[in-house]
């Protein structure tokens, strides 16, 4: 693993697929121009709109998203994570899928989100992700890269389940992806502290791409895409407008923190997560 720059992209996606992909490419290019070699896009980067419309367009969104990610990776010679897009499954539903693609356009890792966001919030908004999405049946993978480190995948609501990240850490993860479309209501209180907690308790970097602003009707996202180091220090924060959070991933820093705070070595039990 070498030292390199990573970028967490922050977007305001809408129901307009082509507009979203154009916005994503502009932000990817911005990140690359600033030296990023690893780029993460947020959950719902190609489409954030009505669930029924997403169901109807899922196949098109999936095809366009995968082609887009592979094209971007090859064009800019980067490794890129597409944080979440619908992939048709069974029962008329689809998987919320994160895809990691290498510089040659090759698929490196794929993860179907396992924790579905079914909540009634105090602000009056109700979310039922399970109405259209099928929960993944496999724990997220860790992709091992000699140059970029061991990359653990997750998506948004997963961040509230620490056992998932402990599992990734036990599988050797050094960097967690947390691409998200965190609601404005929950994000103001929970987003930053959850990311810092996952970083601190596992002594891992966290790269958290995010959605921001108003997408349609009452749907608003918190923003603040960020990169957090293994000590819990926020290295970069994209604020509340579209943009990128860029910071250096340093193997020496990772080793330093794990040497000074060897909590992973002090565990007296092994985390097992059942689905």
What is the torsion angle, in degrees rounded to the nearest 10, for the CA atoms of residue 169, residue 274, residue 182 and residue 229? -10
Tokens of 107: 């698929």
Q: Which of 37, 70, 113, 204 is catalytic?
A: 113
CATH code of residue 207: 3.60.110.10
Find the catalytic residue in 37, 54, 66, 156.
156
- Contacts of residue 267, defined as CB under 8 A and 6 or more positions apart, other chains included, come to none
Residue written as tokens 């958290």? 208
In a domain, 272, yes or no: no
pLDDT of residue 161: 97
The pLDDT assigned to 273 comes to: 66
Domains held by the chain: number: 1
Contacts (Cβ under 8 Å, ≥6 apart) of 260: none
Q: Specify if 275 maps to a domain.
A: no
pLDDT at 274: 65
Residue 70 falls in the annotated catalytic set: no
* 231 φ/ψ angles, rounded to the nearest 5 degrees: -90, -10
Domain with 104 in it: 4-266
Q: Is residue 94 part of a domain?
A: yes
Q: Beta-carbon neighbour count of residue 164 at 10 Å?
A: 21
As a whole number, mean pLDDT of residues 103-119 equals 96
Whether 124 is covered by a domain: the verdict is yes
- Residue 140 domain-assigned? yes
Catalytic residue check, 43: yes
Stated as kind and residue range, the H or E segment containing 10 is strand 4-11
Q: Note whether residue 98 is domain-resident.
A: yes
Burial class (CB within 10 angstroms; exposed 0-12, middle 13-18, buried 19+) of 152: buried
Q: What value, to the nearest 5°, has the Cα angle with vertex 168 and ends 256 and 200? A: 40
Q: Is 228 part of a structural domain of the chain?
A: yes
**From the candidates 37, 43, 66, 204, which is the catalytic residue?**
43
Q: What is the pLDDT of residues 36-93, one digit of tens each?
A: 999 999 999 999 988 888 888 999 999 999 999 999 999 999 999 998 999 999 878 9
CB atoms closer than 10 angstroms to residue 95: 24
- Check residue 156 and give its pLDDT: 97
Asked whether the beta carbons of 179 and 24 are under 8 A apart, the reply is no
- What is the distance between the alpha carbons of residues 126 and 138, in angstroms, rounded to a whole number? 27
Strand 36-43 to 79-88 pairing: parallel
- pLDDT tens for 135-171 read 999 999 999 999 999 999 999 999 999 999 999 999 9
Task: Please classify residue 226 by burial: count the beta carbons closer than 10 Å to its beta carbon, then call 0-12 exposed, 13-18 middle and 19+ buried.
Answer: buried
Is 195 within the bounds of a domain? yes
Please confirm, yes or no, whether 156 is among the known catalytic residues: yes
């Amino acid at each position: 693993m070498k030292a390199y720059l990573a970028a967490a992209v922050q977007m305001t996606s809408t129901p307009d697929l082509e507009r979203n992909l154009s916005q994503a490419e502009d932000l990817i290019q911005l990140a690359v121009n600033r030296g990023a070699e690893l780029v993460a896009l947020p959950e719902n980067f190609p489409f954030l709109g009505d669930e029924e419309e997403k169901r109807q367009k899922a196949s098109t969104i999936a095809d366009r998203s995968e082609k887009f990610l592979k094209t971007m990776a090859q064009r800019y010679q980067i490794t890129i994570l597409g944080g979440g897009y619908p992939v048709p499954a069974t029962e008329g539903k689809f998987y919320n899928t994160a895809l990691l693609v290498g510089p040659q356009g090759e698929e490196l890792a794929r993860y179907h989100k396992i924790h579905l966001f079914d909540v009634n919030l105090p602000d009056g908004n109700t979310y039922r992700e399970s109405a259209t999405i099928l929960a993944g049946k496999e724990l997220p993978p860790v992709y091992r890269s000699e140059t970029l480190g061991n990359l653990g995948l997750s998506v948004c609501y997963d961040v509230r389940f620490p056992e998932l990240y402990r599992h990734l850490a036990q599988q050797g993860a050094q960097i967690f992806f947390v691409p998200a479309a965190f609601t404005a209501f929950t994000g103001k209180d929970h987003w930053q502290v959850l990311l810092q907690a996952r970083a601190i308790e596992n002594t891992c970097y966290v790269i958290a791409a995010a959605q921001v602003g108003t997408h349609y009707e009452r749907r608003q996202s918190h923003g603040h895409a960020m990169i957090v180091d293994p000590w819990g220090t926020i290295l970069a924060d994209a604020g509340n407008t579209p943009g990128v959070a860029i910071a250096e991933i340093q193997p020496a820093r990772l080793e330093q923190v794990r040497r000074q705070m060897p909590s992973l070595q002090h565990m007296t039990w092994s985390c097992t997560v059942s689905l």
